Each structure stands twice: as C-alpha cells, then as structure tokens.
Chain A
Amino acid sequence: MNVKRLSRLSLTLAAALTVGQAFAATRGGQLTFGRYADSLFLDPVLNDANLDIWILTNLYDTLLQPTNDGKGVQPGLASSYTTSKDGKSMVLTLRPGLKFADGSALSASDVKWSLDRARNPEAGAWNSSLASINSIAVSGNKVTLNLKRPDPTLPAALATFNAAIMPQKLFTAAPGKNDAEKAKAFAEKPIGSGPFVLSEWKRGSYMVMKRNPYYWKKGDDGKALPYLDSVRFEIIPDDNTRILKLQAGELQIAEFIPLSRVAELKADSRLNMTLFPSTKVNSILMNNRPKLNDGTENPLSDVNVRQALNYAANKDALIQVVTYGTGKPMKSYMSATTPLFDAKQPGFPYDLVKAKALMAASKYKNGFEVTVLATSGNADDLALLTALQQMWGAIGVKLKIEQLDAATKTARYRANDFQMRTAAWTNDINDPSQITTYYAVFDNIESVHTGFKSAEIDKLFAQSQQELNPAKRAAQYQQIQSLYLKAAPIVYLYETPYPVAMSKKVKGFFQIPLGNNLFAGAYLEK
C-alpha cells in the first residue's frame, strides 16, 4: 500500500467519521408540539379532517410512503413493488419481521384486510383512491393487487393515510356491532405500526405519543427509529399564546404561525422559523354558470371577464400584503410541489392593459358588481379582498364582500348560491389526479362547484388515469393545465408555505408538502 493511498483512505475515514458525527442524533427526551386544534377521530379510513390526517402517519404506517419533497413515493412497510406489463396487477413484498406497536406480528393478511376495508365504497370519503383494485391475494410476505384497469396513481394511493395497515385481530376484537362502532372503540386507543403509539389523550387539552419499540425503520446510528421517547401535543388555539409559549420554552415547536409574524420570529436567535414547502394553493373560485341561482345573468360566465380579473390581480402586491412576502404566484391550478406540475405554465402575470382590453371585448364594457364570500374572522381573507377591491376597481368591477362562517359558506356554494368565494386547497396524495378531479373535472363536484366543464379536459383526464407511460402522462397533464389556464375558471392567486417555528434544539422534524408532520427522524439536541 503506498502512502498516497493510505492518506486518501484515512482522509475518507476521517470524513466518514465527521459526517457520522454531524448526523449523530441525540436519543431520548420528549418534544412538545403546540397545535392549533386537537385531532377528532384517529381512524385512517373513517376520518376526514387534516387535524387527523396530518398526524395519522405517525401512528399507522402505509405500504409505501410519500417522499419528503412531495415528488413521489418510497418504500414503507413494503420494501418493493412491481407492476405487471399490462398494468393489471401489482405485487408488493413486505419487509421481514414487521410488528405492530403491541409486539404482535404484521402479516400479509392484515394488509389484505386493511386495504379491503379502505376500498369499501360504503366506508369513508377516501375509498375512491383505491377503486382500481379488483381483488387482493396474499401468499407469504407477498401481496398481489389485481386491478380492474392500469392505474398510475396506485403507488401514491398506497402511500396515503387511508391505506394504512391496521391489526385485523385487535380491530375486530374491539367492542361494537359493526365496523363504524368498532372503529370508534379502536380509535380511542389505536395500535398501528407507525413510529409512535398513542399513550394518553385528554381531548381538547393534550395528546402524548410514545415511541413504538417495534418500528422497522433504522436511524443513522443503525438502531431503530424514532429517536425521541415521546411527543406531546398541546392544544393552543390562539396564535399569540402558541408563540408566547414557544418563546418561554414551554414548547419546542409551534405550528401555523401567522404569516404576519414570520419576519419577527426569523429574527429571534433562539428560534428556527421554518417555511416548509406545501401543496397549498390559494385562489378565488368563480361561479362559471351562465345564470345565477336567482335567474340573473352571470358576468363571470364570460371567459373574457374571468381572464380580465386574473390579469388585473397584482399577485406580487397581494403576496406582500397578505402573505408578508412568504408566498409565490400560482402558475397552475396545482402547486409547484405537485408531481407533474408544469413549470412552463405562464399563470396570469399582472397586466392592466390586457385586463382592460379583455373587459372591452366582453359583454360588460361598463363593468359590474360582484359579491365574494369570505370566511368571517379570517384576517387574511379581508386583507386579500380589500386589496382586490382596489385592483378590480381599475377595470370597473365593484367587489362586495360578504362574510360568513365556514359552515354557512360551504352550504351556500354547495347550493351553487354564490358568485365568488375565497378558497385554499392542499393535496392529500402525492399525485396530481386528486386536485384535478376536484378543480377541473365536472363529474365529481362540478369542478369545486364552479360549474366549469371542459370536454377536452374530461377526456384527457380519463386517459391520464390509465396512462402508465410517465412521459405521456406528463404531456396529458401539461395540456390539462394549459386548457384550464385559458378558461380561467378561478382567480389564480398564490401558493403559501407551512410556517412552523421551532426551538433551535429541534432537528430532523419535517412537515411534508401534503402537510403530514413527521416525527420519526426528529430529535432534541442537548
């Protein structure tokens, strides 16, 4: 061995050691996390709210998992999966020795049972994500999904919370006459195979999850994750109180920091004010129908008007006013973090001249008055709409703001009884199909009740749902995004991040673009 090689070797070794040290996570301890509201119901199939979804993945694991960047999926309980050539079946291989948090074995039959439950059309709001499955067969540690049709969204669907694997024996042993009753009982003390297990829950006050000693994933030190002994969620609805508690050291993480306070907290040397990339898009949904419910003519049915409103909205200014500079303009109806987002989409850059020309070309040359539904008590909605009042005033559109509580607002637009409404969206799955079925496809809920309908988009979307060639599918989505932009059924506003403030001691915590809070790799530096 010559000297050069030896020194290179020792350099490599030294580098490896430093890298090892740099990644050496501290084990143990409790992390306290301030949430704005408590979870409601911890069943992966029968729940509906982000409050549940965003922490479920810590309790229940899925066969595949979304990647932290939001772009795809990675192995979970299944170490690998293969799709047949005709796309009509998928085989997943489970890791050896998997266990639930109570120490009992996780078998392929638990997988079959869980997925059968999740895809039952009578259960929950999410079964359609697994609708392409025709039947499930198991043998040893292999699970075979036989499909009705090729389904490019299936890997992402298997990485989504509702496809979580649950212990069949424990669930069926729970008291109750039917699935719903058993779910109620089971969800009070759920056992899954995620990194943590629920140990205490005082509703409305706090929840404690302790580490699952049987979790399969290993940390950088080669030992089982998670690093933390426990995570404690404190429910603190008031934004200011949550921040005060963080600053006083009573919390290590506080979520949903108001965007107005991001700059101030960034300047706090004890804190790590983080803006996690999200799939959140903020827009104004417009009623595209020719007539309103009361029979009057609807100016928003004119595509010139809709485009004019889009061009007249100065996104950069709105981003400053409403998001304090933390947002970025929407270029497509889907966020830039959504797979198959087309980066070449132009969006609607601010162009008052164009907006005026479009208004002049419309039936409403002299302008009109339009009412927008806002969520009462929402400061962001008010800031946004008062700014838009001025911007749209420049093209002769008079904006009236009607403030309603969320349930009333929902009731109004479900009945198509609205002209415009503020809206935000986050994806639940690492695939563009979900937002597309809601925003662009009429048949689901009339394109989020805007009434927008495009035969071309419907056709392209149907094709994309069976297209296994990634390049072809991307091209279909590119076209859908372009067609949608041209029709402008919504007012494109901005994308916003998830603002999370953390003590500098917190390392390895992640909120992925879907919103899930991941504590498996989190630790507290001493």
Chain B
Amino acid sequence: MHASYVIRRLLQIIPTFLAVMLVVFLLVRLLPGDPASAILGDRATAEIVERTNRELGLDRPLPVQFGVFVRNLLQGDLGDSISLKIPVLRLIGERLPTTLFLTAYAAVLGVLMAVPLAVVAAVRRNTWVDGVIRAVFQVGLSLPVFYVALQLLSLLGARLGWFPIGGYGEGFGEHLYHLFLPALTLGLNLAAILVRTLRNSIIEVLTAEYVDFARAKGLRSRVIMTRHVLRNALIATITLLGLNIGALIGGAVITETVFAIPGVGRLMVDAIFGRDYPVIQGLTLTFALIVSLVFLITDLIHARLDPRAELS
C-alpha cells in the first residue's frame, strides 16, 4: 500500500545518504588546496597554516575526521563554517528557503508557460503556430542562463523599471515581486525543456484509440483534452519535471549570482572556492535529501495519474 511504500522509500534514503556522505567527505579532501590556505590567502606562513589546520582538526587522520563528522551529524550538528565561523545548519536554514522559494516559483512559471503552449503546438501540429512555438523554445534552450538573466534585468529592470534589480525583499509579496525576473529566467529554461516532451506526448495520446473512442462518444474537445489527453501526456512530463527540479536547485547558482539572491547556490560556490569543507558537506547532504524527496513525490504523483505504475 502507499503508506508502507512511502516508509520503505524513506528508509532507502538512509543508505543513499551514508554513501553520499562518504563520497563527498573524501571528494572535498581530494581537491587540491586546503581550507586554511584558502581562508588565510596567499600570504600565510607555513606555521599559521599548520596552526589553523590543527585548530580545525584537519591534521587528524581521515578516518578520525570522518568519525567526528558522522558523530556530530547524528547529534544534528553539521559543524561550523570555516570562513564564516557560524553553524552550517544555521547557514542552510537561512539560505535554503530562498532557493526553494525561487525553485518552486520557477517551476510554477515554467509549467504555466509550457502546458498551454504544448497543447496549442500539439493541436496545431506542423502548422506555422507549432513551428514558432518550437523555434522560440529551441532558441531559449540554447541561450545561456546568465545572458537571458542580464537581458531581462536590463530591459524589464533597468530600462522599464518594472522590477527591482536583484535582491530578495521582505515578506511573501515582496519575494514574489523581487524574484519574478530570476524565476522567469529559470522558468523559461524549464518550459523549453517541458514543451518539447509534452507536445510529443500529447500528439502520441491524441492518436490513441481511446481518444478516438471519446470523440466518437461526442465528448467536447476541451473535455477530451483535459480529462483524457493531458492526464496521460503529463505522466512523462512530471517525471521530467521532477528530474529538473533537482537540477534547478543546483543550477540556481548563476541566477542567484546575477540577481544577487542570497540562496544556497551561491553559498555552495563560495564554499567550494573557499574549501569550506563543513559547508560543502552540509549542502551536499541537503541537496541529496531534497532530490530524494522530490523523486519520491514524483513517483507518488506518477502512480496517482497512472494506476498501472506499480509502487514496489
């Protein structure tokens, strides 16, 4: 049943988690350069680097360091950021909501753009309308995100003054207003991916026998489209959306930088450049958790839409 399936899936996350933890722990230590040098800069003497490494516990053998990491993690402690000197958990707590808000916003805008356009393109397939829609999104897909971001900023932000240039604002309303351009940037990219798949699925479903049957029954085309076609065509698209939400969270890096949004994407980049091991580890675990949950939710929705999909 669903409940036991969900529990089983949640339990499966634990070994995934452990594996991610070990891999990330080892990977960050394989990177050339160490946190002490990174935070102390070019000028630090060997003694100061050594002392800093000792203070950070980085002079101990790797298994001991990993043991400490796991022990602290079990107590809900991800350690302190090396450069910012505040707990990683607090940092993530402060930054993650912003990124999740942006991701959800982008997903909503992406879907709102993709679904109607895909329907139109599929219904009018191989006409000029279809061509224009596909061409526009093909171009959208090939433009770099930072370029689209800057163009939107300079046109809608600087020139027309409709939206603020960067920042996040206070409260839900301001978030919606401030994050519109970055969400649109990411949403356009997402829509470009979704439109193609959704259009093809719709076309496939439209030619299915049960649609012919529904038509023969005399159902109106809008009803056919929403009740039969979209419901079935969305299945593949939802899996694709789930996959892309994981990518969106990771890919918020550029958008967050261009639009000056204090999210986890930017935090991750700074942490990697600064070799801030605890932050890299903490964020990777968070990303792993989110992606696992998104996949689980995607599977559940999939099952809901397609009773044939077995939850096992």
Q: Is A238 an interface residue (CB 8 A)?
A: yes
Is the Cβ of B39 less than 8 Å from the Cβ of A410? no
Q: Is B74 an interface residue (CB 8 A)?
A: no
Q: Which residue of B lies closest to A184 (CB)?
A: B85
Is the Cβ of A248 less than 8 Å from the Cβ of B158? yes
Which listed residue (B33, B42, B166, B270) contacts A236, Cβ 8 A?
A: B166
Q: Given contacts A238-B257, A410-B33, A411-B37, is CB(A445)–CB(B165) below 8 Å?
A: no
Q: Which residue of B lies closest to A39 (CB)?
A: B84
A residues in contact with B150, CB < 8 Å = 240-241
Is the Cβ of B39 less than 8 Å from the Cβ of A49? yes
Segment at the B interface, from A54-62, A202-210, A475-483: A202-210
Q: Is A406 an interface residue (CB 8 A)?
A: yes
Is the Cβ of A438 less than 8 Å from the Cβ of B33? no
Which listed residue (A236, A244, A405, A414) contacts B37, Cβ 8 A?
A: A414
B residues in contact with A413, CB < 8 Å = 42
- Tell me the chain A residues, 228-258 only, with Cβ under 8 Å from chain B: 234-238, 240-241, 244-245, 247-248, 250
A residues in contact with B83, CB < 8 Å = 40-41, 49
- Tell me the chain B residues, 43-72 only, with Cβ under 8 Å from chain A: 43-46, 48-49, 51, 55
CA A241 to CA B166, docked complex, whole Å:
7
A residues in contact with B267, CB < 8 Å = 204
A residues in contact with B165, CB < 8 Å = 241, 244-245, 248, 250
CA A187 to CA B38, docked complex, whole Å:
21
CA A186 to CA B41, docked complex, whole Å:
24
Q: Is B153 an interface residue (CB 8 A)?
A: yes
Q: Is B224 an interface residue (CB 8 A)?
A: no
0/1 per residue, B157-171, Cβ < 8 Å to A?
A: 110010011111000
A residues in contact with B262, CB < 8 Å = 202-205, 235
A residues in contact with B42, CB < 8 Å = 410, 413, 423, 448
Q: Which residue of B lies closest to A37 (CB)?
A: B270
CA A188 to CA B86, docked complex, whole Å:
9
Q: Given contacts A238-B260, A407-B273, is CB(A444)–CB(B37) below 8 Å?
A: no
Q: Given contacts A48-B40, A414-B37, is CB(A203)–CB(B273) below 8 Å?
A: no
Q: How many CB-defined contacts (below 8 Å) exist between A and B?
A: 116
Q: Is B221 an interface residue (CB 8 A)?
A: no
Is the Cβ of A244 less than 8 Å from the Cβ of B39? no
Q: Is B11 an interface residue (CB 8 A)?
A: no
What distance in Å separates the Cβ of B180 from its nearest Cβ neighbour in chain A? 15
Q: Is A412 an interface residue (CB 8 A)?
A: yes
CA A161 to CA B166, docked complex, whole Å:
32
CA A202 to CA B86, docked complex, whole Å:
13
User: Among A202, A405, A444, which residue has the most Cβ atoms of chain B within 10 A?
Assistant: A405
Is the Cβ of B37 less than 8 Å from the Cβ of A407? yes
B residues in contact with A410, CB < 8 Å = 33, 37-38, 41-42
Q: Is B258 an interface residue (CB 8 A)?
A: yes
Q: Which residue of A lies closest to B167 (CB)?
A: A234
Q: Is A170 an interface residue (CB 8 A)?
A: no
What distance in Å separates the Cβ of B123 from its nearest Cβ neighbour in chain A? 40
Q: Is B228 an interface residue (CB 8 A)?
A: no
Q: Is A386 an interface residue (CB 8 A)?
A: no
Q: Given contacts A235-B260, A411-B32, is CB(A244)–CB(B153) below 8 Å?
A: yes
What distance in Å separates the Cβ of B70 from its nearest Cβ neighbour in chain A? 24
Q: Given contacts A48-B40, A238-B257, A407-B38, is CB(A205)–CB(B33) below 8 Å?
A: no
- Tell me the chain A residues, 377-415 only, with Cβ under 8 Å from chain B: 405-408, 410-414
Is the Cβ of B166 less than 8 Å from the Cβ of A49? no
A residues in contact with B164, CB < 8 Å = 250
CA A238 to CA B165, docked complex, whole Å:
11
Q: Is B259 an interface residue (CB 8 A)?
A: yes
Q: Which residue of A lies closest to B83 (CB)?
A: A40
A residues in contact with B34, CB < 8 Å = 407, 411
B residues in contact with A247, CB < 8 Å = 158
9 A-B residue pairs with CB within 8 Å: A125-B40, A204-B262, A205-B262, A241-B150, A241-B260, A407-B273, A408-B32, A410-B41, A448-B42
- Which residues from chain B sit less than 8 Å from chain A, CB to CB? 31-34, 37-46, 48-49, 51, 55, 80, 83-86, 91, 94-95, 150, 153-154, 157-158, 161, 164-168, 257-260, 262, 266-267, 270, 273-275
Question: Given contacts A244-B157, A407-B34, A445-B46, could you give 12 more A-B pairs where the C-beta distance is less than 8 Å?
Answer: A40-B83, A40-B85, A204-B94, A237-B266, A240-B150, A241-B260, A250-B165, A407-B32, A407-B38, A408-B31, A414-B37, A423-B42
Q: Which 7 A-B pairs have the closest CB atoms?
A: A407-B33, A204-B262, A411-B33, A205-B262, A236-B260, A408-B32, A411-B32
